């Protein structure tokens, strides 16, 4: 009897005949496909609902895990990417927040809240060019959030856009003159 290590070292090429006799793929009936799709919708919706409940209790790490499970069953569930991105952001899992926020923003470019979350997530990951790019549409009407303005200004400085950075910092100072 060979050890697992020996089998790994020799590889599968030792007896290729065994590989050629894989069982044939069974085609799934349309009824089975419909059933699987139906069950997937229910499971995705259930995991999403559980995530929303956890988020309402400020258990954002748990919420993000439920949203991740929902995406495995139906990645196209409306609002799922927004929920998942927000929960991951609030759980300080910024690298996990980026993909769902990117997908949601691509489909909903006017969602300023998601744009801000994505910009802050990029900033925290030190992705300054992405921070600047994702926040650029907010230039005409920048948000009042001092943390976002500071992150945006810093990202502009880091990408050598000093004049634009000065505008963000001026707004920050004017809005927070009493602080």
pLDDT for 42 equals 95
Nearest to 73 by CA among 50, 105, 57: 50
pLDDT at 128: 94
Question: Rounded to an integer, what distance in angstroms lies between the CA atom of residue 120 and that of residue 172?
Answer: 16
Strands (E), 5-113: none
Q: How many C-beta atoms lie closer than 10 Å to residue 157's C-beta?
A: 16
Strands (E), the chain: none
At 21 the pLDDT is 55
Q: Point out the residues of the chain with pLDDT beneath 70.
A: 1-26, 162-179
**What span, in angstroms and rounded, lies between the C-alpha atoms of 73 and 61?**
19
Query: For position 66, what pLDDT does the model report?
Result: 98
């Amino acid at each position: 009897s060979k050890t697992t290590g020996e089998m790994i070292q020799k590889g599968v090429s030792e007896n290729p005949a065994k590989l050629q006799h894989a069982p044939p793929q069974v085609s799934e009936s349309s009824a089975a496909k419909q059933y699987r799709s139906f069950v997937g919708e229910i499971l995705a919706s259930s995991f999403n609902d559980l995530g929303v409940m956890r988020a309402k209790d400020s258990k954002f790490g748990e919420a993000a895990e439920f949203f991740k499970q929902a995406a495995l069953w139906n990645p196209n569930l409306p609002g799922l990417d927004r929920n998942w991105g927000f929960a991951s952001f609030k759980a300080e899992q910024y690298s996990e927040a980026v993909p769902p926020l990117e997908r949601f923003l691509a489909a909903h470019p006017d969602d300023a809240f998601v744009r801000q979350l994505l910009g802050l997530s990029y900033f925290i990951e030190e992705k300054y060019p992405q921070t600047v790019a994702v926040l650029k549409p907010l230039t005409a009407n920048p948000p009042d959030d001092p943390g976002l303005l500071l992150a945006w200004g810093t990202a502009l400085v880091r990408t050598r856009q000093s004049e634009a950075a000065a505008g963000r910092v001026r707004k920050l100072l004017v809005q927070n003159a009493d602080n």
